[in-house]
Chain A
Amino acid sequence: MNTGQWLGLVTGVLFGFLLQKGRVLRFDKQVGAMLLKDMTIFKFMLSSILVGMVGILLLSNFEIVTLSHKPMNVGAVLLGGALFGVGWAVMGFCPGTSLGALGEGRWHAVFAIMGMVAGAALYAELYPVLKSTVLAWKDFGKIGLPEAMGISQWVIVPFFWVGIIALFFWFEKKRV
């Protein structure tokens, strides 16, 4: 294995460990979040975003790392996001957590993984058609919120933090 593969493996083990400790891998947690009955996944995801955001934006500010926005292709993000939502609700896993769920013994994740591999192969077949249709509608390119809104990221980040922390207090008050 090369350096990249080793680094990926070590990072993945830590990623899987934290996902499992956070108890976000289970079908019931994922569907529970979608039914707004169990906020564990929101707490976990939003906490990681708050912390990761500050570090990554600082590193990019000092040009130590480069940001890599995914394109704001309107048709792709809207239709793709909606399709993902449909599949996610039925499958009860997302791509990353399906593997983690398998690791903690939830073996029905195997069917989800097989479905997703089949879905990827299907997408590769559909790609030429999608490229000239959905993907060709409107693409705003790889943009970040600061450029789109015309304000500094260091103005956006504090607002984000305050909003999310307020949400956390509400979760705890409601005991969800």
Chain B
Amino acid sequence: MKWKTADGGWNPYLAGALLGLLAIVSVFATTQLLGKTSYLGASTTFVRAAGILERTIAPDRVATNEYYTETKVRVDWQFMLVIGIVLGAFISSTADKSFKLEGVPPTWEERFGPSVGKRAVGAFVGGIIAMVGARLADGCPSGHGLSGMMQLSVSSFVALVMFFGVGALVARIVYGRRVS
């Protein structure tokens, strides 16, 4: 086993273990500094972002919507965490020169060709379905997959099995038709 991968990344076991440490420090820090334990997650931020955007065109609709009211539309700890992910990935990828502009990923191109339009439709529609699912399940691979599993939550075990199980099935159908 090597410290670095062939593409210049860190050993995934090491990077993952460090993320585990970050998760521990993060729950401790949020409890101490903010008075409430917060766990790493991402999908709730999309609800807040939707609320903030929708508020600019239909403020009353957002104000009276039950889900937006329960979620509390505001730029909070998790919102900034999600913004931070963009920055962190940018810093890391420019530092080790793995930053790369990509409009169509290789696996997609092998199956659907180099059209950016097709990829855009796939990503957009996939995004809608995935987010409805994530909000219904009350978490994504961060909230359920990482934070929930670390706490041994029953719902997270079930959610993760569904995420990967159905994901594997659909991926096989969508990308499976290949020569090799």
Residues of A within 8 A of B (CB): 1, 3-28, 31-36, 40-41, 43-53, 55-57, 59-60, 64-73, 76-109, 111-128, 130-131, 134-135, 140, 142-146, 148, 153, 156-157, 168, 172
Return chain A residues, CB-CB under 8 Å to B120.
108, 111
Most buried by B among A51, A64, A77, A101: A77
Report the minimal beta-carbon distance from A127 to chain B, rounded to whole angstroms.
4
Enumerate B43-59 residues with CB–CB distance to A below 8 Å: 43, 45-47, 49-51, 53-54
Say whether B151 contacts A57, CB under 8 Å. yes
Which residue in chain A gives the minimum CB-CB distance to B93? A104
Contact of B151 (CB < 8 Å), options: A69, A102, A107: A69
Size of the B side of the interface (Cβ < 8 Å), in residues, is 133
Say whether B84 contacts A8, CB under 8 Å. yes
Say whether B133 contacts A86, CB under 8 Å. yes
Enumerate B122-147 residues with CB–CB distance to A below 8 Å: 122-147
Say whether B85 contacts A111, CB under 8 Å. no
Which residue in chain B gives the minimum CB-CB distance to A146? B152
Tally the A-B contacts, defined by beta carbons under 8 Å: 527
The CA-CA distance from A103 to B102 in the complex, in Å, is 11
Say whether B153 contacts A13, CB under 8 Å. no
Contact of A48 (CB < 8 Å), options: B20, B96, B161: B20
Say whether A19 contacts B88, CB under 8 Å. yes
Report the minimal beta-carbon distance from A147 to chain B, rounded to whole angstroms.
8
With A20-B89, A143-B154 in contact, do A126 and B132 touch (Cβ < 8 Å)?
yes
Which residue in chain B gives the minimum CB-CB distance to A6? B80
Say whether A52 contacts B150, CB under 8 Å. yes
The CA-CA distance from A111 to B122 in the complex, in Å, is 9
Contact of A51 (CB < 8 Å), options: B17, B107, B119, B143: B17
The verdict on B113 contacting chain A, using a C-beta distance below 8 Å, is no
The CA-CA distance from A161 to B143 in the complex, in Å, is 21
The CA-CA distance from A142 to B148 in the complex, in Å, is 11
Which residue in chain B gives the minimum CB-CB distance to A5? B80
Which residue in chain B gives the minimum CB-CB distance to A83? B133
Report the minimal beta-carbon distance from A144 to chain B, rounded to whole angstroms.
5
Report the minimal beta-carbon distance from B109 to chain A, rounded to whole angstroms.
10
Contact of B92 (CB < 8 Å), options: A69, A72, A104, A145: A104
Report the minimal beta-carbon distance from B123 to chain A, rounded to whole angstroms.
4
With A34-B164, A44-B12, A95-B43 in contact, do A76 and B138 touch (Cβ < 8 Å)?
yes
